[in-house]
Structure 1
Amino acid sequence: MKRPKQAFVSSPQTTLKTLFFLALLAIISSQLAIGQSVKRPNILYILADDMGFSDIGCYGGEVNTPNLDKLAAGGIKLRSFYNNARCCPTRASLLTGQYPHTVGMGLMVTMPNAAIQPGSYQGFLDARYPTIAERLKETGYSTYMLGKWHVGERPEHWPLKRGFEHYFGLISGASSYYEIIPAEKGKRFIVLDDKEFTPPADGFYMTDAFTDYAVQYLNQQKQEQADKPFFMYLAYTAPHFPLHAYESDIAKYEKLYAQGWDVTRTKRYQKMQQLGLIDKRYQLTPRPANVPAWNSATDKAQWIRKMAVYAAMIDRMDQNIGRLIKTLKANGQYDNTLIVFMSDNGSSNENMESRKLNDPTKKIGERGSYVTYDTPWANVSVTPFRKYKRFLHEGGMITPCIMQWPRNIRPAAGYVDGIGHVMDLLPTSLELAGLSANDLPGKSLSYLWTPKKTEPRTYCWEHEGNKAIRKADWKLVKDTEDADWELYNIKTDPCETNDLARNQPQRVASMRTEFDTWAQRVGVRERPAGKSE
């Protein structure tokens, strides 16, 4: 008679050993998976300077930007992405993920010889708030910066002191694209790492030079640190004044802009409709009273030349972005690189004749010239919106925003309605690097390409006494030149043509209270005349 088979009964020791083995196997397997398929992405932020909403091809412009257009086609394009309406405040938020006042950049940079007055308008980044480079460097990222810094003029505030391992660029604001002009307001510094760099007498053009070093750093990363992810921040000065460009690029546009600003603006508006960027909610704002009809404009040849040079500067920037993309692909870095492109503020209607830096014997665009393209063409650049850089109506603070990450962002047809702000870029980067961003006012933008949901956001702005708050679909705004606060439903009236303030006084009062609470928290100060410091 056969004995029945005994069931196997494990001892407590056997069970613990088995569980330990399975747990160890799971850990090893997960680590292998991370190494093979969840490698942290490279991050590349590209910032244009003083470029309007409708200037590039995929946002309605006639300027030739095939590389940006292709980048946009391979990723997502946002309708409503905000900056801080001016160079320094935007860069401060991009670098720190904070409102600019919080980190000392409520206004502009202060000169090195100025007395330091700590606080929300001190004119350089507050060291208590880490930059994106400092945060990412701690977790193993290589960190590079090229281009315009403009958040600290003193050497102790330069990029290498704020987390970047290598830097080549312009510490200061606007500058000639060919040289350092001794007579320009304040001393301009071009810097390589932490040493002053003197441009060669011939063959130097700033947009190209920034890209030359960017390509060098990408190749260096591939050769020496291929196992590490990198963060690169490339802040072009194009198309910020002075208007400087190669004659070969300018020649592409002079005949085109003979049509004038009225026709150009109308054609942009029509193209934006054809692209699906705008719909019937976007009412083309009228030509401002201080802009003459093209038919009555004088000095047409000079006006045409100005816009042709401005377009050529954007064209050259796009060519250089093409060089970057080519390098990324050649190095095998492209597929796992998040690329974000945007502008630091709306178009600039500033006129700089008072600086007396223009040599009238030089053609506009040549070395020695120093001109701006002024209000008539700036109004074209912000199509279909109104107002410009520094102001807090949409034209001054809304920017094209392109995001591409071949490995993780599925190309989206059309344009995305999700709302974002420049200070959201740092928490986005921290999330991708596996770090917490709970202590920041901005939120990650990953909801734009993942199934995650996001709550309606509230953003606030103040610059030179201009004020705004956007809460979900509603925006309350008052520029210093405005008689009173204006209220707009941005969802139904994105061009701010129908002021609802008188119809909704309770909403105005509630939003003003929320703005005032924010302003007190971040350190907005008012002068007796009402203009902020």
Structure 2
Amino acid sequence: MRPAMTESTEFTGKIELDIRDSEPDWGPYAAPTAPENAPNILYLVWDDVGIATWDCFGGLVDMPAMSRIAERGVRLSQFHTTALCSPTRASLLTGRNATTVGMATIEEFTDGFPNCNGRIPADTALMSEVLAECGYNTYCIGKWHLTPLEESNLASTKRHWPLSRGFERFYGFMGGETDQWYPDLVYDNHPVIPPGTPEDGYHLSKDIADKTIEFIRDAKVIAPGKPWFSYVCPGAGHAPHHVFKEWADKYAGRFEMGYERYREIVLENQKSLGIVPPDTELSPINPYLDVTGPDGQPWPLQDTVRPWDSLDAEEKKLFCRMAEVFAGFLSYTDAQIGRIL
């Protein structure tokens, strides 16, 4: 791999008074080439999906595409997570703790202090920047959420947009969430209208898969031997939970046992899969009920989970349907990921 041209790069050609006696040096300007047999990289980042959700981790949501990856690869069961969008993405793309790159919280809650300014420093390389310099095509498709709010409009600088951080192409949404039927889309550096409506069968998860496949195919037509890095981030399973009715209906009645029993079933599945130790016990569903505030005030009731048996029939019906919609949302998106695979 040849390094990028800089002002200090030594000129190795020859300059004479007569052009016929001179020799150019195009080497420093040549595009970088990837190492031989460099692999293609598909980097998937799902949103707001817990370890107790997918079937390959003991959950009850059918995810055949993700299960295929798990069966052919490695399932990690001991890892650190911030449980927040922007910090997680900053860590995954830089390989560093989010607090060391200005991303201690999500972009909407930054406070201007060094570890929480919402701006990954220019001297902190993203995976996309490193791979681009190593001869890869680099694509970002889906959720970004690494740009300050005040820099996410067309009148602002684009220095923290994907195309300024090593990605050659971008198609997705800039913020933390968007409507899955009528998303706020950006194509490279400009906003675009979704190519369809839900009445036409449009859904953002399918659109993201379509664009990922399109980017890869376009590059392969021109440079079939060049490897690619595709950073694909569906809106699923972040709110809003939108999916076609038939996908939610696939789970009709699947969660009528209630969320307390669901936890027990998943824990047993995870023990059988070796994901957690055999003696693992469930944490209390409301671990902070006995915690009081500085003036003795009780823990807020709105921050507690009601026992399933305390819900009336209509409440149970509502919560079951919410779970069915969420599960259908994940399974539908998994099917779109399967198209990429």
1:470-490 deviation line (CA, Å, top 9, x unaligned)? xxxxxxxxxxxxxxxxxxxxx
User: Out of 218, 236, 239, which is 2:234 matched to?
Assistant: 236
Q: State the partner residue of 1:295.
A: 309
Q: State the partner residue of 2:180.
A: 177
Structure 2 CA distance for aligned equivalents of residues 227 and 271 of structure 1: 43
User: Out of 160, 163, 166, which is 1:160 matched to?
Assistant: 163
Structure 1 CA distance for aligned equivalents of residues 258 and 252 of structure 2: 11
The answer to whether the 8 A contact 2:140-2:232 is kept is: yes
The residue type equivalent to 1:143 in the other structure is T
Q: State the partner residue of 1:216.
A: 214
**Structure number, greater radius of gyration:** 1
Q: Which aligned pairs between 1:103-502 and structure 2 lie closer than 5 A?
A: 103-110=101-108, 117=112, 119-153=114-148, 154=151, 155-180=158-183, 189-200=184-195, 202-203=197-198, 204-288=202-286, 290-298=304-312, 299-325=315-341
The residue type equivalent to 2:117 in the other structure is Q
Q: Which aligned pairs between 1:95-110 and structure 2 lie closer than 5 A?
A: 95-110=93-108
Structure 1 CA distance for aligned equivalents of residues 181 and 213 of structure 2: 20
1:262-311 deviation line (CA, Å, top 9, x unaligned)? 22222112222222222323112232252222121131111111111111
> Secondary structure of the equivalent of 1:82?
coil
1:232-272 deviation line (CA, Å, top 9, x unaligned)? 11111211111211101100112111221122222112222
Q: Which has the bigger relative contact order, CA under 8 A and spacing at least 6?
A: 1
Structure 2 CA distance for aligned equivalents of residues 78 and 108 of structure 1: 25
Question: Higher mean Cα deviation, 151-160 or 168-177?
Answer: 151-160
CA-based RMSD: 2.1
1:106-151 deviation line (CA, Å, top 9, x unaligned)? 222159xx9x947322112222212111111111111001111101
1:180-210 deviation line (CA, Å, top 9, x unaligned)? 4xxxxxxxx4211111112246133111111
The residue type equivalent to 1:317 in the other structure is T
The answer to whether the 8 A contact 1:110-1:152 is kept is: no
Structure 2 CA distance for aligned equivalents of residues 134 and 38 of structure 1: 19
Q: State the partner residue of 1:354.
A: none
The answer to whether the 8 A contact 1:133-1:143 is kept is: yes
The answer to whether the 8 A contact 1:50-1:240 is kept is: yes
Structure 2 CA distance for aligned equivalents of residues 124 and 312 of structure 1: 35
Pick closer, same or farther for the CA change 1:279–1:108 going to 2, 3 Å.
closer
> Secondary structure of the equivalent of 2:78?
strand
The answer to whether the 8 A contact 1:110-1:122 is kept is: no
Q: Shift of the alpha carbon at 1:41?
A: 1.2
Give 5+ residue unaligned stretches, structure 2.
Answer: 1-32, 152-157, 290-303
Structure 1 CA distance for aligned equivalents of residues 259 and 248 of structure 2: 17
Q: State the partner residue of 1:86.
A: 84
- Which protein is richer in strand relative to its size? 1
The answer to whether the 8 A contact 1:103-1:129 is kept is: yes
Structure 1 CA distance for aligned equivalents of residues 233 and 81 of structure 2: 14
The answer to whether the 8 A contact 2:159-2:165 is kept is: no
The answer to whether the 8 A contact 2:212-2:340 is kept is: yes
Structure-1-length-normalised TM-score: 0.50
Give 5+ residue unaligned stretches, structure 1.
Answer: 1-34, 181-188, 326-533
The answer to whether the 8 A contact 2:42-2:230 is kept is: yes
Structure 1 CA distance for aligned equivalents of residues 103 and 209 of structure 2: 27
Structure 2 CA distance for aligned equivalents of residues 199 and 101 of structure 1: 35
> Secondary structure of the equivalent of 2:76?
strand
Q: Shift of the alpha carbon at 1:95?
A: 1.5
The answer to whether the 8 A contact 2:205-2:333 is kept is: yes
Q: Shift of the alpha carbon at 1:100?
A: 1.5
The residue type equivalent to 1:301 in the other structure is K
Structure 2 CA distance for aligned equivalents of residues 94 and 278 of structure 1: 24
The answer to whether the 8 A contact 1:170-1:191 is kept is: yes
1:437-459 deviation line (CA, Å, top 9, x unaligned)? xxxxxxxxxxxxxxxxxxxxxxx
Structure 2 CA distance for aligned equivalents of residues 291 and 110 of structure 1: 27
Structure 1 CA distance for aligned equivalents of residues 276 and 160 of structure 2: 42
1:360-405 deviation line (CA, Å, top 9, x unaligned)? xxxxxxxxxxxxxxxxxxxxxxxxxxxxxxxxxxxxxxxxxxxxxx
Q: State the partner residue of 1:47.
A: 45
Structure 1 CA distance for aligned equivalents of residues 66 and 112 of structure 2: 41
User: Out of 73, 76, 79, which is 1:75 matched to?
Assistant: 73
Structure 1 CA distance for aligned equivalents of residues 320 and 116 of structure 2: 39
Q: Shift of the alpha carbon at 1:227?
A: 1.1
The residue type equivalent to 2:160 in the other structure is H
Aligned residues: 279
User: Out of 56, 60, 83, which is 1:58 matched to?
Assistant: 56
The answer to whether the 8 A contact 2:45-2:234 is kept is: yes
Structure 2 CA distance for aligned equivalents of residues 86 and 152 of structure 1: 15
The answer to whether the 8 A contact 1:250-1:312 is kept is: yes
Structure-2-length-normalised TM-score: 0.77
